[in-house]
Amino acid sequence: MRNVELLVVSKMRSDEEIMQVYREGQRLFGENRVQDLLLKKDRLPADIQWHLIGTLQRNKVKYIAPFISMIQSVDDLPLWQEIHRQAVKTNRVIPCLLQVKIAREESKEGFDPHELHRYLADGLWRQWNGVSVRGLMGMASLTPDQEQWKREFRTLRAEFESIRDNYFQGPEFNILSMGMSADYKIAIEEGANLVRVGSAVFAS
């Protein structure tokens, strides 16, 4: 069976809540705001691997570049380039996911799929070797309609395969991050191998 990794989303959780999960063996945690991430990183154990999963402003990349395990929310070209620049400065290659907009809501972040294909074809990004593109991330619409989630996850999986086959044939492009507390089961059925779960973990 395919391996599915769990990223525990610890945004808005106290250190004590996070430590309870940590003591059960969890090491992979995600935050959506740089400010909170920096504070928590300083207070919590050093062997936690942090992912950034929220909107990232270009001027804040430099604060997380030295330590971040993965940036899941690369949603435009200038941000991608800035991550490359800061990675080079700190002598790192930063693993990233390209966030693709699959939801209907206007408010959702991410590359429009057509735009992303155009950017990838343009090839500017090929010089940005401070970034290792490891796969795609997406969020389904805020709706109770499970069929809608399914369709959106399928779309993302098709994008993942098409982008992999056209641009990233190497083995490192292998992460499909989709699914949260409400929809992770469906996301896994539709091919996710990284799920980002917050409330379902902390509620139990």
Ligand X SMILES: *Cc1c(COP(=O)(O)O)cnc(C)c1O
Q: Which residues bind ligand X (CB under 6 A)?
A: 9, 11, 32, 53-54, 139, 180-182, 196-200
> Shortest Cβ contact with ligand X: which residue?
198
CA distance 42 to 40: 5
**Of the two residues 54 and 167, which places its CB atom closer to ligand X in the complex?**
54
How buried is 117 (Cβ within 10 angstroms: 0-12 exposed, 13-18 middle, 19+ buried)? middle
**Of the two residues 128 and 160, which places its CB atom closer to ligand X in the complex?**
160
Instruction: Provide the minimum distance between the beta carbon of 109 and ligand X in the complex, in angstroms, as a whole number.
Output: 9
CA distance 93 to 87: 6
Instruction: Provide the minimum distance between the beta carbon of 7 and ligand X in the complex, in angstroms, as a whole number.
Output: 8
**Of the two residues 181 and 193, which places its CB atom closer to ligand X in the complex?**
181
Instruction: Provide the minimum distance between the beta carbon of 29 and ligand X in the complex, in angstroms, as a whole number.
Output: 11
Instruction: Provide the minimum distance between the beta carbon of 82 and ligand X in the complex, in angstroms, as a whole number.
Output: 20
CA distance 187 to 177: 9
Instruction: Provide the minimum distance between the beta carbon of 197 and ligand X in the complex, in angstroms, as a whole number.
Output: 5
**Of the two residues 38 and 182, which places its CB atom closer to ligand X in the complex?**
182
CA distance 200 to 178: 15
Residues 76, 82, 85, CA angle at the centre, nearest 5°?
Answer: 145
Number of Cα atoms under 13 Å in the Cβ half of residue 22: 17
Contacts of 186 (CB under 8 A, 6+ apart): 146, 149, 150, 153, 179
**Of the two residues 98 and 139, which places its CB atom closer to ligand X in the complex?**
139
**Of the two residues 6 and 88, which places its CB atom closer to ligand X in the complex?**
6
Instruction: Provide the minimum distance between the beta carbon of 129 and ligand X in the complex, in angstroms, as a whole number.
Output: 26
Residue with tokens 């800035």: 82
